[in-house]
Amino acid sequence: MSGKKRLLEEEYTAEEENENLSEEEDNEELIKRRNNWKVKINALKQVPVHRYALIRDVIVASITVARKSHLNNVAAELKTALQMIRDHSGGEAKHAALKILDKYGGYEGDDDEDEDFDALAAVGGDAPNTNEEEDVVVATMLADEFNWVSGSIGGEGDVDGSEWSKAIKECKSVSRLAALIQSFLSKADECLENLKEDNDRLLHVLRSKTALKKHDSANSIWCNVEVTTQLVKAKVTDYPWWPAHRCIPLDSSVKDALEGSGYAIVASVGNENASLFLVSEKDIVDFSSEPEDDLSQYDESVVQGMEEAMGMAKNLWKARNRGVASPWRTKKRPSPRFSDDESAEEKKEE
């Protein structure tokens, strides 16, 4: 109902496609981005074990850049290494992180260069992180069992509904079962209340032409829909063009109200809330289109989120269109080997 299961499936599909990219399809920027975590972990070789705070910061930064590159398996393994940090000692965590690096092919760069550890402990990898309020993913230090309890709806970190279901099936005490069920109920109540508010908002807009004209497309809505595989780009208020899926309403009253209204329902890609939006048809274009947009007017975090969503959406497109030439790859036209007269003569001979 919430769409979060769909969101998780999209993330997994996009990640799998990302891992299947051939070297010919990878561009230099993608290769650099996917290797950022390796640069950071490889630098741990030069960090003494007593500098546990620096080891922790470098591993946390590596987890963040790995997730931003949709390398969720790498991020999950690094999180395990992070949990080995102990007071006044980071040796065990350092050793575990370097083993993970070796598992994924190691790092082929130069080990002899002096490293800027402030930069390596920053998320970007190119410069020190001077913004202390930047939204950085910090891996949890809580036990996996606690995450299973709270992972019932939507997932917590690297725990999703399947882990929670497994924990339910393996319950051996009433108190443990009660804790899991109570966790589910508390999350379900909040989730259902949010869906009801979003549904009421949609019905209010559709029941009045005046309300529809004044509708702010950035406000999330909800109704029972079929999320199609048709990818588009949609423009909602105060956001850049964002990848999304067209949706077909399954509620007949909503479907009838949308007929001829000039509006459509879309599900944005990469939205952590799996939100639906009511958008004017004039603000929806084909996914391969490149509408003009001045990105300088948006916050850096918004642009970064859009770029990550576009990367995920492109991988989804590739996974669904095997064997079809990518519309984003520009091919250079081969230079003619002959003059026009020579070409004409060659054709005659053929």
Q: What are phi and psi of 18, to 5 degrees?
A: -60, -40
The rounded Cα 74 to chain-centroid distance in angstroms is 14
- Provide mean pLDDT across the span 168-173: 86
Q: What are phi and psi of 174, to 5 degrees?
A: -65, -40
Lowest pLDDT segment from 50-59, 231-240, 287-296, 335-344: 335-344
The rounded Cα 128 to chain-centroid distance in angstroms is 24
Q: What are phi and psi of 9, to 5 degrees?
A: -65, -40
Q: Which residue has the higher pLDDT, 176 or 127?
A: 176
Whole-angstrom Cα distance, residue 255 to residue 248? 8
Whole-angstrom Cα distance, residue 50 to residue 192? 48
Residue 221 confidence class, pLDDT cut points 50, 70, 90:
very high
- Is residue 103's pLDDT more than 80? yes
Structure tokens, 205: 């807009």
Amino acid at 55: I
- Provide mean pLDDT across the span 199-205: 92
From first CA to last CA, the distance across the chain in angstroms is 63
Residues in CB range of 222: below 8 A, 6 or more apart: 194, 195, 198, 199, 202, 276
Share of the chain above pLDDT 90, in %: 27
pLDDT at 200: 92
pLDDT at 126: 42
Handedness of CA 100, 103, 107, 113 (dihedral sign): positive
Whole-angstrom Cα distance, residue 210 to residue 192? 28
Say which residue the tokens 């019932």 belong to.
152
Q: What is the dihedral of CA 29, 31, 33, 39, to 10 degrees?
A: -130
3-state secondary structure at position 233: strand
State pTM to two decimals: 0.60
Residues in CB range of 296: below 8 A, 6 or more apart: none
Lowest pLDDT segment from 127-136, 175-184, 300-309, 325-334: 127-136
Whole-angstrom Cα distance, residue 322 to residue 301? 32
3-state secondary structure at position 129: coil
Whole-angstrom Cα distance, residue 109 to residue 99? 17
Whole-angstrom Cα distance, residue 47 to residue 85? 14
Handedness of CA 181, 182, 183, 185 (dihedral sign): positive
Q: How many other CB atoms sit within 10 Å of the CB of residue 329?
A: 9
pLDDT at 279: 95
Specify whether the CB–CB gap between 57 and 16 falls below 8 A: no
Structure tokens, 174: 């009433």
pLDDT at 142: 52
pLDDT at 79: 87
Transcribe 309-341 into DSSP letters. HHHHHHHHHHHHSTTSPPTT---PPPPPSS-HH
> In the chain, which residue ranges form alpha helices assigned H by DSSP?
4-19, 28-43, 52-68, 72-82, 91-103, 117-120, 144-150, 161-169, 174-206, 209-213, 252-258, 300-320, 340-349
Q: Which residue has the higher pLDDT, 99 or 147?
A: 99
- Is residue 199's pLDDT more than 50? yes
